[in-house]
Structure 1
């Protein structure tokens, strides 16, 4: 949608919809992360090599367990607030001049948000488990804020879209040239907003306006109001709200991001951090040295890293099953 040069595409009820006159330029086709995605081309663009057979979740330059050093980020962010802390250092060090993150309104409707300072990063910290049209935020950062070194935080499919923009022969160069950093979030699936928030939470007697944080922990979906749990249910209870497109995705760890981050493989209050590109590894190391994050290395032989590999394999198998069943 963000790449459309005539603004003919826009999200309507969580789906990209033609709302204007299409110019038949095919740019949207060539930016789509699910169409003709060439893994080798993208890896050569990012790493100057392709992955080896012993790299099942893509190229890894460094793996860590970590959290933000600042306690206000720890409490506000997801699983230790690493993403927020890394973005804060990237802004402060002038590596980027803006970050596109998932914000929300008072009813937990997600929206792409352009953060240009520390307070905005902290205000929008935390995971939203319903889809956000993130790349519209990239366009906004360029067109409305005049930014030229923009970090994009997104799910694996959104990171793929970024790489398509950067590598496609019909890529939107105006967007591509402004991408300064990508941070990918571990993602098994996302849920429809209307189904999960609009209908399900309401059926449980929960006013979404009172929810301050949501999370997925040890096979459960949890919603909080401050420190109080409003809801704690098995994930299988909300499986029916998983978006169908998620079942066609086989990327759990955002294999094409500069840095990938998620809770799997780390203790409570911490995140697993996978630095992939030279740019990503450099940011992680500089953020630790500057005191923005606390880290310890995570050897790939360690149990925590193996959990990440197992989840990635589960997602690949799910896609294979879906493909077989639909054949």
Structure 2
């Protein structure tokens, strides 16, 4: 039964992402909001819903390893495999000034996380803990990010043409977006819960499950949505989805979960956070090279994730 539910979860993710990208992009056009900004906000937050749900539940249950591992593992998965596969399908253009500002903001989020983790090194504390005050700081950063995004959206509206839509089209697009989002969230939950059961039955540790099975499972919406967007040639949504999701994970999900319950940090996670920041720098370099992430860069990112997976499995 577990394997059947896992397959059902995958089906819901694929169809949900298809509906969600269609509905969100059409709504964006009719509201004179660029697809990039929809990718950075609605699509990014929607596809990050499984990360938020799983991390909050894990925090409430006292599983800090799953919470932090899920966030860091999901971001690494997004930067490497999701961007990599998207670029292999269709080179991702980075023409917008916004993306070139958002990726550095993602790096800022990663560096902030590394600093907040380092209580022993920076303060001489007995242990490393992401406290409630740390969580409030992260949520304040998230508020600044939202303010910036909405300012960009407001300033960009006049540059886009208004596309008239009848009321029936509006209703259909809103329906597709809501149904697609619901399918993504529910499908993601099915995949994560059942994949985790399978993994634990094979004797994997909690931290490894968080960095691998749970991280991959909660990132499947980003993967499916970005692949769907790339196939539909909505590359702004594909890349904006990843950048927005990573910022959402680090500032909002980590911030909210640590406010709910302070998170004890395992020493081994420092290596993963550093790897995440290095990969973000690489993504920034790739995005500024000819203002696109081509198939060569996509191949390198995909291979990087394979090497990372081998490393953490052997380390554990």
Establish whether TM, by shorter chain, passes 0.5.
no
More strand by share: 1
TM-score (norm 2): 0.25
TM-score (norm 1): 0.24
